[in-house]
Chains A and B, each alone.
Chain A
């Protein structure tokens, strides 16, 4: 264990431990958008988690998601220098994603009511004027779900996130990990009849799976296929059932020779 100092707080950390993760665990508030604990490697794109490192007589700004614990490390999370740059970044975010509610809230917290930069102009936007291009949706889709349905398109200020050629992507599992991980609630999806429609991703449609027993739409077809193949040894009788019917059947099976508990 090594000794580190965050603001006025002395802490013990594993050598090499991720500082942002540690700080969040300790309840120290460091704003961040592109960091998520499911990823091992830091991405370093949103730059909001900057902190000031004090090393001997030197002070410098760096992102805490890429900072590793070392003995004697001393950082400030809200120094005037950090706040100054964070505020400019928030102004940039406000201009880029004018509809993102949590960016507005975060900006308010830092005393920013209005960005000095002109707002991004758009007539329609598949990400509802909320996307900040943090890349979490791309990473969760590619690295975690191994589906790789979406990616960055273009570069620099014209970077977008979408499916290849802005066309429906049949690789989509309809798992909605992208919707759930998005820090600004930019990705939208809806369920229409027996399909999930990924409105943000070129209206990609994913068929739902019906429970053989009760007929409820309990998951998407590709997701069901994927998990089915993952659980080969599973009882085939359970395969096509929704979680509720599955639970009931399992109870029945397990309690076949046992008396059921008396209801109170």
Chain B
């Protein structure tokens, strides 16, 4: 059926609700890449076999990732009238026991991680039920306590391969709302929200849209940058795998606002599940008339296609990405002209990160004014981080901007699992830097991080303990960027190579004070003179470790003197 009105949407929502909290027991297995990696697909198959004769009473489904990676595989059980319960570290062998318990209306306590009595999907409020007194509440868990799930509001709770479930939690209502506004009003709303680009640089999204909208052209494009490639970062992967329709809805709204008829999702080929889910979601959206001609019966038509990346990190840079989509080698070109002026096929183009797009339906649902109150001044909203490394609780963490680093590392993450002292956090991937423990009091916002010599980046957060060598860490990242440099401009191509030489020399205790001086000078030149963002930010891991952990470099040099 084609959805033409709010009534149509509500009819489908009704069907979706029956799946989420109907009369049957719902067993939802978290099947994101992270879940699958820990065997969730086996858990799903075991459940599937076990419920063969029970389909009248039990509804088995797939959901995305709930973000608590170190507790995977996660299974969410909803017994009608009772809270949704999250079971953790579920083994395939345990599925029968779990099934027996839930069929008799009970939850196996020892597997239960927490319960959710009600949930704010922002676009909809879901009440599951009360009870199960001996299971802790979601908000009592240290991992979740400091979090605020806006972008990840649906992740792990709805089936990402089922449009009806997305509509059940208020999906595509924001699109309906937007289509009943003027494009300028939509842009105004996004501007009022104060949303800044979640790809890392933090350019105001509303302003980007406004510039793109004002540039007159017969054709315009919106692009979703899903070429996430920072080591240790997987926020976008989860957003696409767990809630693909949120990205699509955001893109349709963006297309309407700037006057584009076509959207492109540029996604890295290394994310096969995300590609599959987004393909399914696009297909479903077309079937229901949410993509294609005359969306919601309006004059607005819009469609999305997928372009797969070929494995080059630099294609996350917008001009290189455009070149790649056009079938050329992924090499950046000088800006200006910016893509908002001359982008894909020379037409005005707005490129936004996955997470930025995810925020759009929320802004429309909450209203820009209310959204701007989340987080801190000039840094509205939340940010998803992938908290990994030497930390007890690993996973995707979404916090309001302005949250202190120590809250994430110590309160949410629980500090180092080995009892060693946490030494630093590497934030922002290879473009970011290492923040020492002294800096953990810093609120996470675009400006504070820049002052520390790093960047927000897309959200990778690697925690390191005192046993980690910071010089080796710097070497790892320079090795990464050097290999991923496109090779077009000299400072990046030749400079990073020489930085690698010097770092190797220092690490093999053959370095001198002159080498350290040269390393610093070279870093500054690469930062100042490189053509694109990759080169400009590539020396950050070295510059920050030199700034905060200089004694480690000097130690290695002095060692060599003996």
Contacts and interface: CB of A to CB of B under 8 A. Distances in A.
Interface of A: 41-47, 50, 61, 63, 65-66, 68, 84-85, 88-89, 92-93, 95-96, 116-118, 132-133, 135, 151-152, 154-159
A93 B493 CA distance: 11
A154 B487 contact: yes
Contacts of A65: 334
25 contacts: A42-B334, A43-B334, A44-B333, A44-B531, A46-B489, A47-B491, A47-B531, A61-B529, A63-B529, A66-B334, A84-B521, A85-B529, A88-B495, A88-B525, A89-B490, A95-B498, A96-B494, A117-B498, A118-B498, A133-B490, A133-B493, A155-B314, A156-B485, A156-B496, A157-B497
Contacts of A92: 490-491, 494-495, 498
A121 to B, nearest CB: 12
B485 A47 contact: no
Contacts of B336: 66, 68
B495 A50 contact: no
Contact of B501 (A66, A88, A93, A117): A117
B301 interface: no
A47 B498 contact: no
Nearest to B517: A116
Interface residues of B, number: 34
A93 B486 contact: no
Q: Which 4 A-B pairs have the closest CB atoms?
A: A159-B487, A44-B334, A88-B525, A156-B485
Contacts of B483: 156
State the main secondary structure of chain B at its contact with A.
helix
Given A88-B521, A118-B501, A156 B493 contact: yes
Interface of B: 312, 314, 329, 331, 333-334, 336, 482-491, 493-498, 501, 514, 518, 521-522, 524-525, 528-531
B487 A47 contact: no
B487 A133 contact: yes
Given A45-B531, A89-B525, 20 more contacts: A45-B490, A47-B491, A47-B530, A65-B334, A66-B334, A84-B525, A85-B524, A92-B490, A92-B495, A92-B498, A95-B494, A96-B494, A117-B498, A118-B501, A133-B487, A151-B329, A155-B484, A156-B496, A159-B487, A159-B493
B525 A157 contact: no
A135 to B, nearest CB: 7
Contacts of A152: 329, 331, 487
Contacts of B518: 116
Contacts of B497: 156-157
| Residue from the set A61, A95, A117, A157 with the largest chain B CB neighbour count within 10 Å | A157
Contact of B490 (A47, A66, A68): A47
A157 B482 contact: yes
Contacts of A66: 334, 336
B314 to A, nearest CB: 8
Given A45-B531, A47-B531, A116-B518, A89 B493 contact: no
A45 B489 contact: yes
Nearest to B483: A156
